[in-house]
Amino acid sequence: MEFWRIPLDADTIQVSRGIVHILEDRCKGCGYCIEYCPKQALEFSANFNQKGYHPPCVIKPEECVNCHYCEIICPEFAIFSVESLQTTELKQVRT
Amino acid sequence: MQKIPMTSNKQPDHPLDDLIRTDRIPHIWCPGCGIGTVFSSCLAALKGSGIDLQKTVMVSGIGCSGRAAGYVKLDSFHTTHGRAIPFATGLKLANPELNIVVFSGDGDLFAIGGNHFIHAARRNMDMTVICVNNLNYGMTGGQVAATTPHLAKSTTTPAGNPETPFNLPLMAYACGATYVARWTMLHIRDLTDSITEAICKKGFSFIEALSPCPVNYGRRNKQKPLDMLKLYQEKAIIKNDADPSTLDIDFEKGIILGKFIDLDRPTFIEEYDKIYRPSRLQENVPELNS
Amino acid sequence: MTKPAVLTGEYFMTGDVACAEGALAAGCRFFGGYPITPATEIAERMAIRLPQVEGCFIQMEDEIGAMAAILGSSWAGVKSMTATSGPGFSLMMENIGLGICTETPCVVVNVQRGGPSTGLPTQGAQGDMMQARWGSHGHYEIIALAPSSPQEIFYLTITAFNLSEKYRLPVLIMTDEIIGHMSEKVIIPEAKSIKLASRPRPKGRKDRFKPFAPGPNGVAPMPAAGEGYNLHITGLTHDEKGYPVMDVETQTEMMARITEKIQKNLDDIIQTDSYLLDDAEIVIVSYGVSARTSMAAVAEARKLGIKAGLLRLVTIWPFPEDQIRKLADRVKGFVTVEINLGQIHREVERCAGGKVPIFLVGHSGGTIIHPDEVVKMLKEAF
Ligand SMILES: Cc1ncc(C[n+]2csc(CCOP(=O)(O)OP(=O)(O)O)c2C)c(N)n1
Ligand code: SF4
Ligand code: SF4
Ligand code: SF4
Ligand SMILES: [Mg+2]
């Protein structure tokens, strides 16, 4: 989770990278974030949260493009993404 | 199960946490209910709009959607069923500096509160009204609403709705609203942009947000939570400036979304100030000088 | 052109106009209303006068909206009022309850006319007295005042505002068509001689403030919207923070807050007036326009050698129970005089506790009660 590989095509496509944060105990397991993530980066976790729902987990962290869609569709304020520092580094490498 | 420690001990806050009463989260809305999404979109709009949030008030009526006022960390009023708009009218007239957002349900705003909606729009009372349209009365267990599609099932129309629903944007336009838009809770960026525009615009603004009520409407009409969202996706026709009279919701032919009306006319307060405030009073009501 | 809020001077004024002037003198700066006979003249007066004092008038779409609007304006920090008659009073009931539950200061005037239903629109009655007490659902305390003249309605409207601000609740002025439409001399005093009260204001840290935590007299300080308190105000059962909590404990605590602030301050709230009461053997209990009838009847009865006296209720709710109880220990009986078929009468009966006989001179509404009817009752019954 700490260090991501630099994509091979990093210098050809402009990608933003995101880190997804999940506030598991707020989640009610509707699955909207999972269904509508454009990168299929999320999946239901096998864990139960305090309320007995399965919150999402990030299965493909390197795929997250920090589009925030999971964040804005979540009815529960339970998931959000922040820009990965990696991105800035990538950009810096490129310029 | 052992939790894997994070790199930093404290998880960062959700970007909207400063606008929610986190001590009241999780909220009461059912899993898959769209109200939370519309509410979150509204908060994002408030945050992004740049308006003075200390001078911003949310007013709700009664219903699942009406609970929004209880979760926003701003001055917020949860009033009586249907009466959010006149309550908000009093707030605004007594302190015109306040920015008013009315957040409520379709039953609240258009059945029991319909008369207030009509007149606030006619007066061009400066406020933004957001209606979560979930096609039924969610809170009381799924009864027919003024927005329930013809033939749809509800607990009080067990064999299908014999009535015709309102076309809400047409109604808002006909009554005099100066900003009218409709989105679904899936079209979140558009919805947030519309709410932002509406908040920043003076005059009576109306935004209809279609939103699933999986527990009541969905269950009785054989729609799983995701079915409703798929319907929004498949049937959405984005058509800004569409003629309001063409906006009946028709899940077969398609649901027209967009910003339909954006015009300017003087607000109630502007007109009142002009005609009644002291400096002008003499010329307009001559008998007062005697 | 601005005009003063207090139009100091001597006038010949109707009760309705005097009520509006009393409101302005009390600091009322918002009126939301809906026309209804015989209260319309209050709205009409406010429509002219409020803009002269930098206030705001709006004719709402109905009385439900009017009542909601004055609650909203009160939470924006402005003293607010509405005025109506029976049919509109019925429509206001749910939001009067919201005002009670959310402890919102405001004044509601009911210029009573004959009911039920549309009844006698242009003719007076006093048939809404129990509706004033219990018209909104649930158990609560309320304050209601009954003026007997245009001069008194001027002063009692000020009192109504002061009480509503001090105790944070809707205060009702239960007048009637006769007082509302009657013209009499009204003296409006100098502004500086009028004592005004304002809602208690919060001090200290805004983030720790609890809008329903009672202060020393049982009343919580009240901020306004837009002042940075992030208030949450709901008609659901709520705790001191204002947050809804659906349990018996919170319900019990909230009910104690909204009832005890009145019950523990009865001496400050209740006002009565009397006429020849000290040596009276028979006490007439009356209020509003009927108290004028009763006063004439007492004078007449005294001429006939009947030792009658008048207890005039200025405050109707909370009911002056103690005074009736004490009188019941020393007098021979009571006569209640009111333009209904026995509403306050039952309260007198309850407080007299069967100690002495109690009679009613009532009327179904549409006219005042003639003093002769009261005298006749005094002669026959005692
Ligand atoms: C005067 C009154 N009548 C009825 C009710 C019961 N009631 C509560 S919410 C509601 C309907 C809410 O429907 P809507 O506004 O569409 O909100 P939703 O729950 O669907 O979000 C009703 C009828 C009430 N609280 N007050
Ligand atoms: S930010 Fe976008 S890409 Fe990343 S997980 Fe969320 S929805 Fe998927
Ligand atoms: S959208 Fe929110 S509530 Fe739904 S599954 Fe994802 S995190 Fe949980
Ligand atoms: S009943 Fe329907 S509208 Fe209400 S919270 Fe549940 S899903 Fe949402
Ligand atoms: Mg609804």
Burial of A61 (0-12, 13-18, 19+ CB in 10 A): middle
Q: Is B216 helix (H, G, I), strand (E, B) or coil?
A: helix
Rounded to whole angstroms, the Cα distance separating B147 from B249 reads 9
What is each CA distance from B26 to A26, C235, C266, in whole angstroms? Answer: 6, 21, 43
Identify the domain containing residue C325 by its residue range.
271-381
Per residue, the 3-state secondary structure of C113-162, as one string, reads: EECCCCCEEEEECCCCHHHHHHCCCCCCCCEEECCCCHHHHHHHHHHHHH
Q: How many Cβ atoms from other residues are within 10 Å of residue B247's Cβ?
A: 23
In a domain, C1, yes or no: no
Rounded to whole angstroms, the Cα distance separating C204 from C206 reads 6
Nearest CA residue ID for atom 6, ligand 3 = A33
Q: Which of B73, B93, B281 sits opposite C230 (nearest CB)?
A: B73
In a domain, A46, yes or no: yes
In a domain, C2, yes or no: no
CATH number at residue C349: 3.40.50.920
Look up the pTM and report it: 0.95
Domains of chain C: total:
2
Q: What pLDDT, on the 0 to 100 scale, is given for residue B288?
A: 53
pLDDT in tens, B206-256: 999 999 999 999 999 999 989 999 999 999 999 999 999 999 999 999 999
Domains of chain A: total:
1
Identify the domain containing residue A55 by its residue range.
27-89
Centroid of ligand 4 to alpha carbon of B108 (angstroms):
14
Nearest CA residue ID for atom 8, ligand 2 = A37
Q: Which residue has the tokens 């006909």?
A: B174
- Taken as a whole, chain C contains a residue count of 382
Centroid of ligand 1 to alpha carbon of C326 (angstroms):
48
Rounded to whole angstroms, the Cα distance separating B112 from B110 reads 6
Q: Which residue has the tokens 């009381």?
A: B140
Structure-block tokens of residue B174? 């006909």
In a domain, C53, yes or no: yes
Locate the DSSP E strands across C177-281. 183-188, 232-234, 272-275
Cβ < 6 A, ligand 2 pocket = A 18, 20, 37-39, 41-42, 64-70, 81
Closest atom of ligand 3 to A22 CA is 7
Pick the closest to residue C47 from C39, C58, C36, C38 (CA basis): C58
Final residue of a domain: which of C158, C193, C228? C193
Pick the closest to residue C79 from C104, C102, C106 (CA basis): C106
Please tell me the CATH code under which domain B33-289 is placed: 3.40.50.970
Instruction: Provide the sign of the torsion angle of the four alpha carbons C158, C162, C167, C168, taken in this order.
Output: positive
Residues C296 and C167 in one domain: no
Per-residue pLDDT of chain C (382 residues; tens, 9 = 90+): 579 999 999 999 999 999 999 999 999 999 999 999 999 999 999 999 999 999 999 999 999 999 999 999 999 999 999 999 999 999 999 999 999 999 999 999 999 999 999 999 999 999 999 999 999 999 999 999 999 999 999 999 999 999 999 999 999 999 999 999 999 999 999 999 999 999 999 998 999 999 999 998 899 999 999 999 999 999 999 999 999 999 999 999 999 999 999 999 999 999 999 999 999 999 999 999 999 999 999 999 999 999 999 999 999 999 999 999 999 999 999 999 999 999 999 999 999 999 999 999 999 999 999 999 999 999 999 8
> Which stretches within chain C are classed as H helix?
15-26, 40-52, 63-75, 86-101, 129-134, 150-167, 177-181, 248-263, 266-269, 288-303, 321-330, 344-352, 371-381
In a domain, C203, yes or no: no
Residue type, C31: F
- Residue C186 pairs in a beta bridge with C11
Per residue, the 3-state secondary structure of C3-56, as one string, reads: CCCCCCEEEEEEHHHHHHHHHHHHCCCEEEECCCCCCHHHHHHHHHHHHHCCCE
Pick the closest to residue C186 from C139, C147, C144, C152 (CA basis): C152
Closest atom of ligand 4 to B65 CA is 3
- Taken as a whole, chain A contains a residue count of 95
Q: What pLDDT, on the 0 to 100 scale, is given for residue B290?
A: 42
Pick the closest to residue C366 from C101, C86, C177, C204 (CA basis): C177
Q: A85 and chain B: CB distance < 8 Å anywhere?
A: no
Q: Residues with beta carbon < 5 A to ion ligand 5?
A: B 105-107, 134
Residues C44 and C178 in one domain: yes
Rounded to whole angstroms, the Cα distance separating C378 from C372 reads 10
Residues C289 and C377 in one domain: yes
Angstroms from B52 CA to nearest CA on chain C: 10
Rounded to whole angstroms, the Cα distance separating C281 from B229 reads 79
Cβ < 6 A, ligand 1 pocket = B 62-65, 81, 105-108, 132, 134, 137-140, 145
Q: What pLDDT, on the 0 to 100 scale, is given for residue B277?
A: 80
What is each CA distance from C83 to B35, B272, C240, in whole angstroms? Answer: 38, 21, 31
Per-residue pLDDT of chain B (290 residues; tens, 9 = 90+): 344 444 445 778 999 999 999 999 999 999 999 999 999 999 999 999 999 999 999 999 999 999 999 999 999 999 999 999 999 999 999 999 999 999 999 999 999 999 999 999 999 999 999 999 999 999 999 999 999 999 999 999 999 999 999 999 999 999 999 999 999 999 999 999 999 999 999 999 999 999 999 999 999 999 998 999 999 999 999 999 999 999 999 999 999 999 999 999 999 999 999 999 866 555 555 555 44
Q: A89 and chain B: CB distance < 8 Å anywhere?
A: no
CATH number at residue A46: 3.30.70.20
Residues C19 and C164 in one domain: yes
Final residue of a domain: which of C168, C193, C218? C193
